Structure 1
Amino acid sequence: MGSVDYEYPLGMNNFERVHQVEVPPPQPFFKSLKYSLKETFFPDDPLRQFKNKPASKKFMLGLQFFFPIFEWAPKYTFQFLKADLIAGITIASLAIPQGISYAKLANLPPILGLYSSFIPPLIYAMMGSSRDLAVGTVAVGSLLMGSMLSNAVDPNEDPKLYLHLAFTATLFAGVFQAALGLFRLGLIVDFLSHATIIGFMGGAATVVCLQQLKSILGLEHFTHGADIISVMRSVFTQTHEWRWESAVLGCVFIFFLLSTRYFSKKRPRFFWVSAMAPLTSVILGSLLVYFTHAEKHGVEVIGELKKGLNPPSLTNLVFVSPYMTTAVKTGIVVGIISLAEGIAVGRSFAMYKNYNIDGNKEMIAIGTMNVVGSFTSCYLTTGPFSRSAVNYNAGCKTAASNIIMSLAVMLTLLFLTPLFHYTPLVVLSAIIVSAMLGLIDYEAAIHLFKVDKFDFVVCMSAYIGVVFGSVEIGLVIAIVISVLRVLLFIARPRTFVLGNIPNSVIYRNVEHYQNAKHVPGMLILEIDAPIYFANASYLRERITRWIDEEEERIKATGETSLQYVIIDMSAVGNIDTSGISMLEEVKKITERRELQLVLVNPVSEVMKKLNKSKFQNHLGKKWIYLTVEEAVGACNFNLRASKTNPKKDETEGWNNV
């Protein structure tokens, strides 16, 4: 890079135009702590709406905060009812077969899928802030719960204990979710990055599809393992037990379901074709089995489903060792996953309709419905994407569509459950496979590869971990890699050299802007992260290396010798004592080399700590400036003053301006 003959644009004869950084006024400790906690846990300031309001108004606002139904119900219209009625009936037609199918994934009785589509949606309709989220069981959560609980209790050997553990895990999931919302700890869910969720969901969907080979091939004995190797071994060591009748039926219904989805995707106004396809498959499959007696030829059916509404399950919860530990662990893991999915889905559709949802209120609503669900024979529920997409496309206006769906499920529980007796399991497997194929988002993975290779590695790590290990292993691997990436960003922050854009007062990275020129006699660096103990040593070494490289460059080009090291701290949001010690060491390094250290724009929190540590006094107030432009101007003036009167002290020359 060449050099530039810098002309200070402000004119050093006008000292008043140079603005030095002021130390912020001291704040009481508890006031500062209160502000920090507020910004961390209450960035949206939920209490601002209660300020300067009468008691009656505060009570109503509080009621609406926890029960948004009191906010939208008074404004409900007949037009809304018509739209929500159509949407509710449409998603009920999807919820009934999906509920039965997903309960099977969790190794639970099929009727629990219907129970879980009755009570939780009513709770969410009162407490949820999303207009489009359709509540129910989800495939990934069902698979995860089934996988984790099966490690402690075999659902075939002790189905009663397994069922009670599922209720207990749901209770702990709900308590954990609601606690996150009440204590404003939703940032925990943020550790599940977008790349992590894509890989995890894709891997879980692949595992779910592979496990459906049991029903599609009509196998009686199948592995309890969730990894691809165990599944493939189980499938191909039992080729003599494959049932062609079941396989043909499964392939036909998978083709039918995928065809209807493709049709609805190409013609969005016919969204109801895809939404009705699962229920249509159940009806057609049941009629086919009933008239052909296919159950006698290797096609398994659901069998009897108990009529009636949800029985209480409060007394069935398990709080004894060692099962309680399993229930707590399962509840926390599936609770985080279901929260991530539910909130992500809710926010996506809220963005389409241009309204906002409160993530913490959503956590409270989802947590509460799972707690109540665990008392009423339900297992884990959240807002699945497929059902919410149908709800959105059906034109829902409010959360009342969940109430309509719940009422439709109630009528099914009271009167229609005997009709599912002949529903073939292979049809349920086909429904699951068709739903899961939509979760394998290979286009998103390709996009990650193009945009951010590290995100792609996180995504594939989660996918491979789930497919070749287990759902838990894949999740842990993805989270660990994501956290390591965050730590890497903190431990190895970016630093780069700034140069002046010709004929301007703008300074930019010389590596990115080819026309940015080095300022003679000055090395201008920018640190792009807070300075903490984790990166202090690295930054000291990196700054020293920048100085060495700059001196070598100057020696090679024959430019003006280096005399100033200017550090732009605009992006340094905070600094700890290790960071201050690092600056002190850099100051000593520059002094040994007869260089002057200059700081630019330390933010208030950094400036406050520099002042308290006395570093500011050690450096000198005159060497801290608001902008790179002013710092360069001051240094440039001193360079000229030293040329004019070499014996005169630079600082004195600057002070006499």
Structure 2
Amino acid sequence: MNRGGTRSVRYLTRGLPALATVRAYRFGWLRGDLVAGVAVAALMIPAGLGYAEVSGLPPVTGLYATIIPILVYAVIGPSRILVLGPDSALAPIIAAAIVPLAVAGSPRRVELAGVLAIEVGIILVLAGLFRLGFLTTLLAKPIRIGYLNGIALVVVLGQVPKLLGFSGDGASIVEVIVEDWKGIVGGEVQPKAAAIGVVALAVILLLKWWRRAIPGVLIAVVGAMIFLAAAAWQHDVPVVGAMPPGLPTPELPSRIWHDWVELMVPAAGIALIAFADTSVLSRTFAARAGYTVNGNQEVGAVGLANVAAGFFGGFPAIGSSSRTAVAESSGARSQLSSVTGALLVLLALLLVPGITRYLPSSALAAVVITAALALVDVSAVIELFRIDRVEGLISVVAFGGVAVLGVLQGILVAIGLAVLAFVYSVSRPYRTELGDVPGLRGYHDLASYPNARRVPATLILRFDAPLFFANGAMFDDWVRGEVKAARSAGREIATVVLACEPITDIDSSAIDELVELDDYLSKHGIDLVFAEMKDPVRRQLERYRLKVNGEPRFGPGHFAPTVGSMVDEILDEDD
């Protein structure tokens, strides 16, 4: 093949990773992929049905949101075994977005969910095209832990009524608890439904604890269906009901402009969570298998999968940690495993759509509850408090935002916390005086090396953060305080050397503080020198064109390539 043809194939396989998989596929992978596909399909059906109900949608839409994203992602997604589908982290957000806009059982809810999926997909595609991976930092680890703990509690408490055979409602944990209590005290519990739900929940939890390899979810769901049919309780117990056969015809879910505007904010929140969770999940499983994935291509592929789901009656889907883990442990080597699972689900829709008329809603609630419990991570919160109390507190506040205010408001609280946490961390960074440690090159933290020697007539300081509006004044006060403390201790200070390597940026507010600091030091006969300042930061400083008596305020004499070279110059002058 000529060079041009080789380049064309390379570009094509980069845009369509499925082609590369087909070219590299080995016959020895087939058995593992098919077995994994069957195992994943066994989880896809109950998970899809359950998360659709949590989202306030007809159960069958959960299968649409499973089949379509998987088939699209298999063609354009870079991960070999990532399984897409509905997820417990998204379902409460979807419900909070669409439930207030349409009554239960209305086709309009499905339309709104489709709009949400398309908007989420478009946002993810744009994020991939413009390489906006940094946005995932808005959901830092402490915030995600607290947020997911809150989501888990909302989901579990929200499923309690269905587990016991009655209906409940509520956006926040407080509202859900009140509604649950009213139903239980008011005698709305249906004993037969509750018995099936509690037994199903016990079976799943016990098998997960005793033998994780045994598919507890499948056993509980199939067992509940067989029991319901054998006992002829289908008229006494709420059931999922028969599903429409096959897939719906692709169409734009809504032509009402107001729907698209109304759902933009929740779509952005869902996209942020999808971006963060799927990126981490994809990288983790790729690293285990010994290959890498392009994060921007990953998020773009998930975005296109969501757009497709929106046109086929589905709702937003992301990478599923539980179903991907099952695929991996079952021997999956390529996307053929998830495609096999999706085709088996589609086959069930085509051949036996009526089977779910025997599926008790309480058993489905048990599946959702166990999935949500997997999100709870109390030990991680305890560990955060052990390492850093501020991060632990942030996690608790993020949890409280979801618990008290509701899911959508909890997202805004989480993002607001992320911004505040960042501002707090860089506004109070680590700062220290440096000295010469015998036997070690360079200049080091006096707090870590008590035997470090100070340089005569010189104060060497390091500030470990960019200088900007939130910490400029504090930086100014800190340097002045260090000078005053040194003089009070009887030291003569002629030069303040700032070790600037950690300073990656300086904004206009910080420049004003730097000018005031320079004036203060000059009045006390002290020179200010910047050592190891990065070239971009120095050029940024020069662009302000600061002058004193017509001369540059910070001329060449104010800069040194290293702290050591500046100290050598000072010591040579003393000699």
Name the TM-score class by shorter chain: over 0.9
2:139 alignment partner in structure 1:
192
Q: Which amino acid aligns with 1:316?
A: P
The answer (yes or no) to whether the contact 2:274–2:318 under 8 Å persists in 1 is: yes
Cα separation, partners in 2 of 1:494 and 1:169, compared to 1, 3 Å: same
218, 230, 237: which one aligns with 2:175: 230
User: Could you report, residue by residue, the CA deviation over 1:53-96 in whole angstroms, capped at 9, with x for unpaired residues?
Assistant: 95433432322222111122101111112111111111011111
1:424 alignment partner in structure 2:
360
SS in 2 for 1:602: coil
509, 523, 539: which one aligns with 1:608: 539
Mapped pair 1:344 → 2:344? no
1:583-602 matches, within 5 Å, as 583-602=514-533
Cα deviation for residue 186 of structure 1 reads: 2.3
2:157 alignment partner in structure 1:
210
1:127 alignment partner in structure 2:
76
Q: Which amino acid aligns with 1:371?
A: V
Q: Which moved more, 1:165-174 or 1:446-455?
A: 446-455
Distance 2:152 2:505 in 1: 42
The answer (yes or no) to whether the contact 1:501–1:508 under 8 Å persists in 2 is: yes
Distance 2:448 2:373 in 1: 42
2:39 alignment partner in structure 1:
90
Mapped pair 1:572 → 2:510? no
Cα separation, partners in 2 of 1:331 and 1:621, compared to 1, 3 Å: closer
User: Could you report, residue by residue, the CA deviation over 1:538-563 in whole angstroms, capped at 9, with x for unpaired residues?
Assistant: 32222112111111122xxxxx5222
Distance 1:551 1:296 in 2: 88
332, 340, 350: which one aligns with 1:396: 332
1:148 alignment partner in structure 2:
97
Cα separation, partners in 2 of 1:373 and 1:296, compared to 1, 3 Å: closer
1:33 alignment partner in structure 2:
none
Distance 1:471 1:478 in 2: 10
**TM-score normalised according to structure 1 size:** 0.82
1:650 alignment partner in structure 2:
none
The answer (yes or no) to whether the contact 1:173–1:334 under 8 Å persists in 2 is: yes
Distance 1:620 1:93 in 2: 71
The answer (yes or no) to whether the contact 2:143–2:398 under 8 Å persists in 1 is: yes
Distance 2:541 2:67 in 1: 60
Q: Which amino acid aligns with 2:205?
A: L
The answer (yes or no) to whether the contact 2:110–2:314 under 8 Å persists in 1 is: no
Cα deviation for residue 622 of structure 1 reads: 4.4
The answer (yes or no) to whether the contact 2:143–2:417 under 8 Å persists in 1 is: no
Cα deviation for residue 454 of structure 1 reads: 1.9
The answer (yes or no) to whether the contact 1:370–1:381 under 8 Å persists in 2 is: yes
The answer (yes or no) to whether the contact 1:166–1:327 under 8 Å persists in 2 is: no
Distance 2:457 2:316 in 1: 66
Distance 1:603 1:66 in 2: 38
Cα separation, partners in 2 of 1:619 and 1:470, compared to 1, 3 Å: closer
Distance 1:139 1:65 in 2: 32
296, 301, 317: which one aligns with 1:381: 317
Cα separation, partners in 2 of 1:130 and 1:562, compared to 1, 3 Å: same
Q: Which amino acid aligns with 1:486?
A: F
1:310 alignment partner in structure 2:
247
Distance 1:160 1:581 in 2: 59
1:406 alignment partner in structure 2:
342
Q: Once the two structures are aligned, what percentage of the paired residues are identical?
A: 26
1:94-173 matches, within 5 Å, as 94-156=43-105, 159-173=106-120
User: Could you report, residue by residue, the CA deviation over 1:321-345 in whole angstroms, capped at 9, with x for unpaired residues?
Assistant: 3x33223333222222222222221
630, 634, 643: which one aligns with 2:565: 630
User: Could you report, residue by residue, the CA deviation over 1:164-213 in whole angstroms, capped at 9, with x for unpaired residues?
Assistant: 11111111111111111112122222211112111111111111110111
Cα deviation for residue 610 of structure 1 reads: 4.5
2:257 alignment partner in structure 1:
320
1:263 alignment partner in structure 2:
210
Distance 1:137 1:609 in 2: 47
Cα deviation for residue 599 of structure 1 reads: 2.2
Cα deviation for residue 264 of structure 1 reads: 3.6
Cα separation, partners in 2 of 1:241 and 1:623, compared to 1, 3 Å: closer
SS in 1 for 2:12: helix
The answer (yes or no) to whether the contact 2:253–2:313 under 8 Å persists in 1 is: no
Distance 1:409 1:434 in 2: 22
Cα separation, partners in 2 of 1:84 and 1:585, compared to 1, 3 Å: same
Q: Which amino acid aligns with 2:175?
A: S
1:436 alignment partner in structure 2:
372
Listed as ranges, the gaps of 5+ residues in structure 1 are 1-52, 266-270, 555-559, 641-657
SS in 1 for 2:455: coil
Q: Which moved more, 1:428-437 or 1:240-249?
A: 240-249
Total equivalences in the alignment: 568
The answer (yes or no) to whether the contact 1:282–1:427 under 8 Å persists in 2 is: yes
The answer (yes or no) to whether the contact 1:129–1:357 under 8 Å persists in 2 is: yes
User: Could you report, residue by residue, the CA deviation over 1:548-605 in whole angstroms, capped at 9, with x for unpaired residues?
Assistant: 1111122xxxxx5222211111112233454444444333222211122222111111
Q: Which amino acid aligns with 1:72?
A: T
Q: Which amino acid aligns with 1:113?
A: G
Cα separation, partners in 2 of 1:609 and 1:136, compared to 1, 3 Å: closer
The answer (yes or no) to whether the contact 1:461–1:474 under 8 Å persists in 2 is: no
Distance 1:487 1:196 in 2: 15
SS in 1 for 2:145: helix
Cα deviation for residue 408 of structure 1 reads: 0.8
Taking only aligned residues, the RMSD between alpha carbons, in angstroms, comes to 2.1
Mapped pair 1:300 → 2:238? yes
SS in 2 for 1:311: coil
SS in 1 for 2:82: coil
Cα separation, partners in 2 of 1:545 and 1:639, compared to 1, 3 Å: same
Cα separation, partners in 2 of 1:332 and 1:594, compared to 1, 3 Å: closer
Cα separation, partners in 2 of 1:193 and 1:289, compared to 1, 3 Å: same
Q: Which moved more, 1:578-587 or 1:127-136?
A: 578-587
User: Could you report, residue by residue, the CA deviation over 1:382-413 in whole angstroms, capped at 9, with x for unpaired residues?
Assistant: 11111111111112111221211111112111
1:489-500 matches, within 5 Å, as 489-500=425-436
72, 75, 83: which one aligns with 2:24: 75
1:647 alignment partner in structure 2:
none
Cα separation, partners in 2 of 1:375 and 1:505, compared to 1, 3 Å: closer
Cα deviation for residue 423 of structure 1 reads: 0.7
SS in 2 for 1:116: helix
Listed as ranges, the gaps of 5+ residues in structure 2 are none
The answer (yes or no) to whether the contact 1:506–1:629 under 8 Å persists in 2 is: yes
Distance 1:263 1:380 in 2: 33
Q: Which amino acid aligns with 2:498?
A: I
SS in 2 for 1:561: coil
Cα separation, partners in 2 of 1:253 and 1:540, compared to 1, 3 Å: same
The answer (yes or no) to whether the contact 1:88–1:405 under 8 Å persists in 2 is: yes
Cα deviation for residue 251 of structure 1 reads: 1.7
Distance 2:461 2:299 in 1: 44
Q: Which amino acid aligns with 2:323?
A: R
The answer (yes or no) to whether the contact 2:240–2:357 under 8 Å persists in 1 is: yes
The answer (yes or no) to whether the contact 2:242–2:355 under 8 Å persists in 1 is: no
Cα deviation for residue 358 of structure 1 reads: 1.2
Mapped pair 1:549 → 2:485? yes
Q: Which amino acid aligns with 2:59?
A: P
The answer (yes or no) to whether the contact 2:81–2:338 under 8 Å persists in 1 is: no
